[in-house]
Structure 1
Amino acid sequence: MPNWTPRSLAVQAMGKIDPVTRGVVPPIHLSTTYIRDPDNGYSTGFVYGRPDNATIHEAEAVLAMLEAAEAGAMLFGSGMAAATAVFQALDPGDHVVASKVMYWALRAWLLTEAKRWGIAVDFVETDDLLALKTAIRPGRTKLVWIETPSNPLWTITDIEAAATLAHAAGARLAVDSTCASPVHTQPLTLGADIVMHSATKILNGHSDVLAGVIAARTEDEFTARIRLIRKSQGSILGPFEAYLLMRGLRTLHLRAERQAASALALAQRLSAHPRVARVLYPGLPQHPGHDIAARQMTGGFGYMMSVQVTGGEKAAIGTAAHTGLWKRATSLGGVESLIEHRASIEGAGSPCPVDLLRLSTGIEDAGDLYDDLDAALTQGHRD
């Protein structure tokens, strides 16, 4: 691999040039089957499209490089497919400790489906290290799953400290780093064993690909089990989606840095807004996890924030109804800015306050984004 920075390696797709055409953009490999050698072997290493595809491998190589993953990266058909594969790799009777505030769909899966696999799950505030230590059961806890920053309250968990606690009890640490991206945090270098991303989000960045990725620090039996689950259950990403993801990764650093800078500028201005009761963003000094975030995040604090508006639920929903530049839509991490009233989406049992709006900052002009939200806040309180 060339001795370039991660930014340069991502931009040039690891420096690969198509050997046939000398094209600077890698081609899409669509074949699902490959020719055997005369001796009935497969000297190319490619056997069948479900586990073997050159386009997918190329995108995985970039992701493994970005995460400093010695065991490589595995692409899945969605973030949920990637995340659930980790839990499915556990044995019946294993115990898991997971962040209480986390991606709602995965939390719902753990509450309903994990028990069918015989897995016991305890949810705790993982930013509270004492609570985390108390919840871990040495010898029985096999996985600690944290999400940092956590969606949609953006609490920060100390990755290095969580890894120490997990490893002392004989457990692995997995980190959902979707809302940090490898531009701002590399959990494996901080002691985590596994890092997961919904690549649908900022890794792709264009709201046109469903994908997930698992990257591992070391190759071991557990990593091999995840790989086998992906192969046997057929949850690998398609080659066209991998091609689009590779396109997105080429501009990841530019987008992530711009989005984080805009998010910080917006968080600072919104903190002084008369119709905003609270801004939840780890880049603000008053955020309770700011010091830890400053230690384990580099070059910015991510693109996600939430605001709690004065006037309660009605004003929050009214504000979202009157935005123009901010689009009312689920998901996050795209080049377009999105706004969503999360409590309405998550429903009963959600830890999300009813006055909260989740904001995914895109790459539009930060001044335009503020002005659009300012006008919507005014109109939303009048309704």
Structure 2
Amino acid sequence: MGAEVVIEGLTKSFGKQAIWRDVTLTLPPGEVSVMLGPSGTGKSVFLKSMIGLLKPDRGKCVINGVDIVKCSEHKLYEIRKLFGVLFQDGALFGSMNLYDNVAFPLREHTKKSETEIRKIVLEKLEMTGLSGTEKKLPGEISGGMRKRAGLARALVLDPEIILCDEPDSGLDPVRTAYISQLLVDLNSQIDATILIVTHNINVARTVPDNIGMLYRKELVMFGPREVLLTSDEPAVEQFLNGSRLGPIGMSEEKDSAQMAREQAHVDAGHHDGSTEDMRGIVPQLQPTPGLPERKAVRRRKDRVMQILHTLPPAAQEAILQSLTPEDRLRYGVQPGHYVGAHRGQLPTEAVAQVPRSGWRDPQPRVDDPTRRRPGHQQGRS
């Protein structure tokens, strides 16, 4: 199972320019998470801070008991071996063929023989659908293939944590669908913890177990996918719907006068840019038939049912509606235990009793994932 990543109060700035502050979240082990946010909100900076390429101003990022913000260079070097990173553009060496690109981390960080390296490289190329392309140069293949080659390279050290920085950027919708399926299939096969940074709403709705969003230098929320996908937070709703109407502008935020002008335009019949209401829960992608089931699914259900009573009513209802009859029996949920008229927490008798599972948050950090900061909804779980 992939490693748990515990981030507490992480803050980063460049000179006087604050990028984000007091980011606190936990990436549950073996689950797939997505981080959303408008362009320029520091999502890529967040990934680089997680692996120690950039040093945060303060806060913690704890992996396997090691705080990479304060640890020694030797410790950081060892922790980095747990990561596999897919960069935005693939970051392949243009003068190397795909085989040598994928083999590079093994030659740099291990003492494996070339025979062992060849076996691993061909296995990862096959896993990412690139068998037979090992002699091609990056300039001779499509953008989607370069993304997959970058992912193959990220996998050669058998990482416990995979970071994907906009794996869909520059890809058409069909290739994006293939990349999404590939990430789900990888999770089913290696049970790694995966964090995806993306602007693609379809990816965010169908791939992850958890979703977060950065906006106005804050983590607006982070938690089970149902929380963000049913949220009425204005910035979240605007971002999901791709609408001009809302607090997000061409710059990161807009003033009240501009918001009023845009609302007047819409009231007068001018289209706001959105196509349909994208809020709501759609089915998650499942592993390709023939692959093992994702082990994270059961762990996530156990975890989410433990915190169910702390989630917003709309998220509670979406989660309860998704339960199978077997799930209802397992968690002691009776028919009719929906949020409905209830406001806030479920009644005591409706709170699911969850059996012991393999995942436990060793030190719960926030009791109420709907706690609000001024102007924001903050959800951490």
Q: TM-score, normalised by structure 2?
A: 0.25
Q: TM-score, normalised by structure 1?
A: 0.25
